Amino acid sequence: MARYLAGRIGQAALTVLFLLTFVFAAIRLTGDPTNLLLPAEATQQDRDLLRQSLHLDQPLLRQYASFLEDLARGDLGRSYKYEVPVTELIRERLPATLKLAFMAGGLTLLLGVPFGIVAAQHRRHLADHLTLLVALIGQSVPIFVIALVAVLIFSVNLHLLPVAGVDSPLGYVLPVVTLAWFGVAAIIRVTRVSMIGVLESEYIVTARAKGLPQRDIIYVHALRNALIPIVTMFSLVFATLLTGTVVTETMFSIPGVGRLAVESILNRDFPVVQAVVILVTVIYVAINLAVDILYGFIDPRTRSGGR
Amino acid sequence: MSVAAPTARNRPAPSDIWRRASGWLLPVAFAAFVGVGLCGNVLAPVDPAFVDLANRYIPPFVQAAHPLGTDQLGRDILSRALVGANLSLSIAALSILVASTWGIAVGMIAGYFGGAAEIVLMRLADAMLSLPTIMIALLLVAIMEPGFWSVVAAVVMVTWARYARFIRGEVVAIRSREFLSAAVVCGTPAWKILWHHVLPNVLNAVVVLLTLDIGRVILLESSLAFLGLGLPPDRGAWGSTIFEGKVYLEIAPWIVLVPSAAMTVAVLLANSFGNWLSDRLDPRLRALER
Amino acid sequence: MSLHEVPRAGTARAVAPLLRVAGLDVRFGTRRGSLHAVRDVSLKLGRGETLCLVGESGSGKTTLSMALAGLLPDNALVSGSIAFGDREIVGLREGALRAIRGRRIGIVFQDASRSLNPVLTIGYQIAEMLRRHLGMARAEATERAVELLEEVGVNDPRLRLGQYPHELSGGLKQRVMIAIAIACRPELLIADEPTTALDVTVQRQILRLLRRLCSERDLALILVTHDFGVVSAMADQVAVMYNGRIVEYADVFTLFRAPRHPYAAALLATNPRHVLEAAAGGELRPIPGSPPNPLDHIAGCAFGPRCPRRHERCAVEPPLTSDRSGHAVACWYPSDA
């Protein structure tokens, strides 16, 4: 188990390193970095100063090293627009995004798994078809369409929920549901398929032969095995959740880091963009790592040397 | 005789009958979509950029001249939707083409030559795939300034690795087969082997990957457009139209609903067609679907 | 180290039989038509007796054994009677069946690697029988699980409790399955080819274990197999099945000495020991043709097309008739006893 953990952590670290290298390369290779890292009105003097501080006259490796150093120290640069350290901006905006993402993630599992189980148990009959239809819609309809339709129905026509903003807890309902929709669909489908496969396994026949109550068969014997692909799907779903937060925050005017990144691109405030990209990706890698570790607990076969 | 679980019901299901009946409906629909999309500019009945402030906010199905209504500037919605289709499809086609060509090349080199090249290239591909799509897209758009090329670059960057991984797997599998060894023994140069022997065998699967990517790319491109990070809004990409029309949701929801419906249909068709194709051509591919 | 050193379970007693099957018929509704897997089967089993169901694949032996525990899928149509003790299995609700399965009827499947749940510990899979059926507390169940593992010959039982199936060898896994099956002291054990998936040496050990358990616990055993070696080692009674019917039923000694049905005789002749003898100087005689498709409806004796003694009369299905000693045959031209 320890070896498995060490392997996974190592891989996560390598991914982060790759990300940082990618960011570094992308900036350096597409022209003069000072164009990006300075506001438009910068003078030649500003440019020269920046050149020096970034060691742009130095070999590439040296620049890379100082880039990594700065990040390690927590120095994410300064925003041009707001003229404060980027870390401050992020600290302000991150909570909203995290709340959104985690609520949506939770909803995904809370709705997806039970509905998937129901669909698997009532295969090919009404409950199954309905569930599959909902899942199909969820996976094909783009997120902003769902958001718009939801707003149209619940805000504009029914006046039940606010159109934008998250000042009140109600304000979270539409964004979270919108965000979770795709994930719920994906989890329903994978739970269903996984459960169907598991329910046809021989060890389930054994469980029946043992005279165990149906509850035990489904939730102890079947679900534990079905979880493995579900967990895999969840980490993929989480990636789309991230995409989704950027769009959802824009759609519902939520003050999160996603919207911050988009605004910063439009404002040519590059340090902020760079910081958000790195931070969010690191969070993403961390979540995936947590999921991998979870594997180790769910499937004992992984612990003793891989599958 | 297998002893299935008590919940397995084995009567012939209505879904099977439906599947058999609608055999060719899907490819035809998809072909129609692609046709309309690529000719969008030509098919538009009215100049989509024509601003007509006297005729703003006309609802759909009311006037013959504007079958799907007009938007906040009096522009014909149907025409704009068609132009949007054209844009989305063009961007999708171009970026998928570039991404797949690049990815296939990388995959073939990695698979065929093996060794250090394979390890390095595949690690790169794996790392690329483990990063969240939107973040990479945002980064590239930020660096390259929002516009046509930055969107294409973003899409290419997040798409190529999938092809590389898949192709390399196929090449490795084919590598050991006899006809390939025969070709090597005859002294055929590597590129010829790859082109004449390897490529035809993987074409089926690649076609399916391409088709499945269309939906994905349309969504990504529209999301970027929606965020204001794609082409300029007056070009009429679906995402931009939706973003602009958002504020008029109460008074003129069709401004937003028409491109939304168009986008949904497009993605649905592309995905369904991709699934259909994959079932026909190569059942193995189901496992690759993410 | 012959298996025959372990005492066989007792022969049939005069008391009422544990299991009495009458006119059992099992059909499956499939897309391709009705599959008649078990046709008009009748048999009985006394306490502590061992019955072997023999036949090729598709003969219906597995379906029959599963039917006895009510373990058939939803699309199975069952008619006839299965009287187990004082209960009628056919038509019994799932809830009542669950009370019987595991508790009064234990089942051992062929492939323990696939029949044990890979994500649950051995200890859990044994203890849950005791907790669910006998209401034991966790600690007590764990202790009893250790005892059970010892009884079935698993070494290091305490260690095994915390292990997972993939950490055990095939033989150990099968022992665990047996431990699970006997945990609640059932009256009947159904074993479907329990040794087919194992190495030859392990096979003998498992069979010895089953023999011992059956005689120690007065446990009736229905053993499904296609291997006559297993039959000779384990059976008190033997039922030979073909195309869903019992074509010959006798005690094991009689069957081996003088089989009366041409199919049973032919099967015995293809037994490996006989094959060796035949190779030494006699003839190898495989049975020509192949078993019929259970989906087909055959008029007359199903074995007819392959039978060397076939005559016009065989166009009518021969009934299973038994003589005074209880030896039953379904044939118009059985060999003399």
Tell me how far the alpha carbon of residue A199 is from its chain's centroid: 31
Question: Closest-CA residue in chain B for C66?
Answer: B3
| Residue type, position C293, single letter | N
Per-residue burial over A55-72, b = 16 or more CB atoms within 10 Å of its CB, e = otherwise:
ebeeeeeebbeebeeebe
C328-329 and C321-322 beta bridge pairing: antiparallel
At residue C200, the pLDDT reads 85
At residue A31, the pLDDT reads 66
* Tokens found for residue B290: 């993410």
The closest of C192, C216, C158, C180 to C62, measured between CA atoms, is C192
In angstroms, the CA C129 to CA C157 distance is 17
Which residues lie closer than 8 Å to C163 by C-beta, 6 or more apart? C121, C122
The closest of C13, C14, C39 to C25, measured between CA atoms, is C39
Which residues lie closer than 8 Å to C189 by C-beta, 6 or more apart? C105, C106, C107, C108, C181, C182, C210, C213, C214, C219, C220, C221, C222
Across A157-176, average pLDDT: 75
Report in angstroms the alpha-carbon separations of C79 from A187, B126, C71: 42, 58, 14
Say yes or no to pLDDT of C129 above 90. yes
In angstroms, the CA C239 to CA C21 distance is 13
At residue C108, the pLDDT reads 94
What does DSSP assign to residue C71? -
Report yes or no: A199 and A118 within 8 Å, Cβ to Cβ: no
Chain B residues within 8 A of A39 when measuring between CB atoms: none
Chain C residues within 8 A of A216 when measuring between CB atoms: 128, 132
A201 phi, psi to nearest 5 deg: -75, 160
DSSP string of C269-327, one letter each residue: HTSHHHHHHHHHHS---PPPS-PPPTTS---S-TTGGG-TT--GGGGSPPP-EE-TTS-
Say yes or no to pLDDT of C4 above 70. no
Across B29-45, average pLDDT: 80
The backbone region for C91, taken as left when phi is positive above 0, alpha when psi lies in -120 to 50, beta otherwise, is: left
Q: pLDDT confidence of C146, banded at 50, 70, 90?
A: very high
* Residue A173, min C-alpha distance to chain C (Å): 37
Say yes or no to pLDDT of C189 above 70. yes
Say yes or no to pLDDT of A247 above 70. yes
CB contact under 8 A, A148 and B257: yes
The closest of B198, B213, B228 to B162, measured between CA atoms, is B213
In angstroms, the CA C306 to CA C310 distance is 8
- Percent of chain C, pLDDT > 90? 44
Arithmetic mean of pLDDT over chain B: 80
Chain A residues within 8 A of B246 when measuring between CB atoms: 148, 251
Question: Closest-CA residue in chain C for B1?
Answer: C63
At residue B4, the pLDDT reads 41
Report in angstroms the alpha-carbon separations of C186 from A37, A56, A192, C18, C189: 78, 82, 35, 12, 7
Arithmetic mean of pLDDT over chain C: 85
DSSP string of chain B, one letter each residue: -----TT---SPPHHHHHHHHTTTHHHHHHHHHHHHHHTHHHH-SS-TT---GGGTTPPTTS-SSSTT-B-TTS-BHHHHHHHHHHHHHHHHHHHHHHHHHHHHHHHHHHHHH-HHHHHHHHHHHHHHHTS-HHHHHHHHHHHH-SSHHHHHHHHHHHHHHHHHHHHHHHHHHHHTSHHHHHHHHTT--HHHHIIIIIHHHHHHHHHHHHHHHHHHHHHHHHHHHHTT-SS-GGG--HHHHHHHHGGGTTT-THHHHHHHHHHHHHHHHHHHHHHHHHHHH-GGGGGG--
pLDDT, tens only, A65-112? 878 888 888 777 777 777 788 888 888 889 989 888 889 999 999 999
Beta bridge partners of C41: C24
Could you give the count of Cα atoms lying within 13 Å of C115 in the half-sphere of its Cβ?
26
CB contact under 8 A, A210 and C99: no
What does DSSP assign to residue C26? E
Sole residue written with tokens 């006119």: C23
Across A151-167, average pLDDT: 73
CB contact under 8 A, C101 and A211: yes
The backbone region for B114, taken as left when phi is positive above 0, alpha when psi lies in -120 to 50, beta otherwise, is: left
In angstroms, the CA A221 to CA A223 distance is 6
Q: pLDDT confidence of A40, banded at 50, 70, 90?
A: low
Mutate to test the interface with B, among A123, A156, A277 (most CBs of B within 10 A): A277
At residue A142, the pLDDT reads 81
* Tokens found for residue C304: 């007819």
At residue C256, the pLDDT reads 87
Question: Closest-CA residue in chain A for C108?
Answer: A206
At residue B11, the pLDDT reads 45
At residue A306, the pLDDT reads 43
pLDDT, tens only, B170-217? 888 777 775 666 767 777 776 777 677 777 777 877 888 888 888 889
| Residue type, position A230, single letter | I
**Option in C116, C132, C164 nearest A203 (CB):** C116
CB contact under 8 A, C73 and B12: no
Q: Which residue has the higher pLDDT, B269 or B2?
A: B269
> Which of A66-75, A281-290, C136-145, C305-314: highest mean pLDDT?
C136-145
The closest of C54, B106, B135 to A16, measured between CA atoms, is B135
Flag whether residue A125 sits within 8 Å of chain C, measured between CB atoms. no
Across B43-62, average pLDDT: 78
Beta bridge partners of C44: C20
Q: Which range has the worst mean pLDDT, A217-231, C100-114, C282-296?
A: C282-296
Chain A residues within 8 A of B268 when measuring between CB atoms: 140
Q: Which residue has the higher pLDDT, A54 or B130?
A: B130
At residue A44, the pLDDT reads 77
Across A157-184, average pLDDT: 78
What does DSSP assign to residue A32? -
Report yes or no: C220 and C234 within 8 Å, Cβ to Cβ: no
What is the value of pTM for the model shown?
A: 0.76
Q: In what side-by-side order are the strands of the sheet with C105-108? A: C105-108, C188-192, C220-225, C50-54, C237-242, C245-251, C328-329, C321-322
Q: Which residue has the higher pLDDT, A80 or A292?
A: A292
CB contact under 8 A, B2 and C72: no
CB–CB contacts below 8 A, A to B:
142
* Tokens found for residue B273: 């067609």
Report yes or no: B69 and B58 within 8 Å, Cβ to Cβ: yes
Q: Which range has the worst mean pLDDT, A162-166, B229-233, C99-103?
A: A162-166
Mutate to test the interface with A, among C75, C115, C125, C224 (most CBs of A within 10 A): C115
The closest of C135, C91, C84, C82 to C106, measured between CA atoms, is C84
In angstroms, the CA B245 to CA B16 distance is 41
Mutate to test the interface with A, among B16, B123, B131, B256 (most CBs of A within 10 A): B131
pLDDT, tens only, C301-323? 888 788 888 888 888 888 888 88
CB contact under 8 A, B246 and A124: no
Say yes or no to pLDDT of A162 above 50. yes
In angstroms, the CA C207 to CA C202 distance is 9
Sole residue written with tokens 């020269």: A48
* Residue A198, min C-alpha distance to chain B (Å): 10
B partners (3+ CB pairs within 8 A) are A, C
* Residue A221, min C-alpha distance to chain C (Å): 7
Q: pLDDT confidence of C293, banded at 50, 70, 90?
A: confident
Report yes or no: C15 and C21 within 8 Å, Cβ to Cβ: no
Report yes or no: A180 and A108 within 8 Å, Cβ to Cβ: yes
A partners (3+ CB pairs within 8 A) are B, C
Which residues lie closer than 8 Å to C54 by C-beta, 6 or more apart? C61, C225, C226, C228, C231, C238, C239, C240, C241, C267
> Which of A207-216, B13-22, C10-19: highest mean pLDDT?
A207-216
CB atoms within 10 A of CB B107: 31
Q: pLDDT confidence of C14, banded at 50, 70, 90?
A: low
At residue C5, the pLDDT reads 45
Q: pLDDT confidence of A121, banded at 50, 70, 90?
A: confident
pLDDT, tens only, C17-63? 899 999 999 998 887 778 888 998 999 899 989 999 998 888 889 99
CB contact under 8 A, B10 and C63: no
Could you give the count of Cα atoms lying within 13 Å of C101 in the half-sphere of its Cβ?
27
What does DSSP assign to residue C196? T
pLDDT, tens only, B218-265? 989 998 998 888 888 878 888 888 888 888 888 888 888 899 999 988
At residue C64, the pLDDT reads 93
Chain C residues within 8 A of A206 when measuring between CB atoms: 107, 109, 115-117, 177, 180
At residue B8, the pLDDT reads 40
ipTM of the assembly? 0.84
Across B34-60, average pLDDT: 79
Which residues lie closer than 8 Å to B124 by C-beta, 6 or more apart? A18, B161
Which residues lie closer than 8 Å to A32 by C-beta, 6 or more apart? none
At residue C309, the pLDDT reads 81
pLDDT, tens only, C239-280? 999 888 999 999 998 888 888 888 888 888 776 665 555 555
In angstroms, the CA A208 to CA A225 distance is 16
Q: pLDDT confidence of A134, banded at 50, 70, 90?
A: confident
Chain A residues within 8 A of B2 when measuring between CB atoms: 200
Across B158-170, average pLDDT: 89
Mutate to test the interface with C, among A121, A122, A125, A202 (most CBs of C within 10 A): A202
Q: In what side-by-side order are the strands of the sheet with C33-45? A: C33-45, C19-30, C76-84, C87-88
